[in-house]
């Protein structure tokens, strides 16, 4: 009888230790999950920023492909003029 009681105490002790170990592992896993959620949120924010940048660049590219933009660059940077423009030179 005493042997059975000792065995039962040992089983209960081992079970408690296992539950304690599982509790510690659960806490560590929750910490890792929180860190991963923070990383996911950061990456999602970076994705939103990159999408906004991409949209801005696509709009800029679209405007740069327009004839008006090309003409403005030709006038400003290259000094080109239209055939019917009147040019004034200041001396």
Within-domain flag for 50: yes
What's the pLDDT score for residue 48? 98
Scan for tokens 């940048």, then name that residue.
Answer: 53
The total of structural domains in the chain comes to 1
Is 0.85 topped by the overall pTM? no
What's the pLDDT score for residue 81? 85
Domain that holds residue 15: 2-78
Within-domain flag for 90: no
Per-residue pLDDT of the chain (91 residues; tens, 9 = 90+): 778 888 999 999 999 999 999 999 999 999 999 999 999 999 999 999 999 999 999 999 998 888 888 888 888 888 888 888 877 777 7
Torsion region of 79: left, alpha or beta (phi above 0 gives left; psi -120 to 50 gives alpha): left
Within-domain flag for 88: no
What's the pLDDT score for residue 65? 87
What's the pLDDT score for residue 11? 93
What's the pLDDT score for residue 86? 78
Within-domain flag for 32: yes
């Amino acid at each position: 009888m005493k042997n059975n009681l000792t065995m039962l105490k040992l089983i209960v002790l081992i079970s408690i230790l296992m539950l304690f170990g599982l509790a510690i592992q659960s806490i560590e896993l929750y910490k890792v999950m929180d860190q991963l959620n923070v990383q996911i949120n950061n990456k999602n924010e970076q994705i939103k920023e990159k999408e906004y940048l991409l949209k801005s660049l696509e709009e800029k590219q679209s405007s740069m492909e327009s004839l008006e933009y090309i003409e403005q660059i030709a006038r400003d940077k290259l000094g080109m003029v239209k055939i019917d423009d009147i040019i004034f030179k200041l001396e």
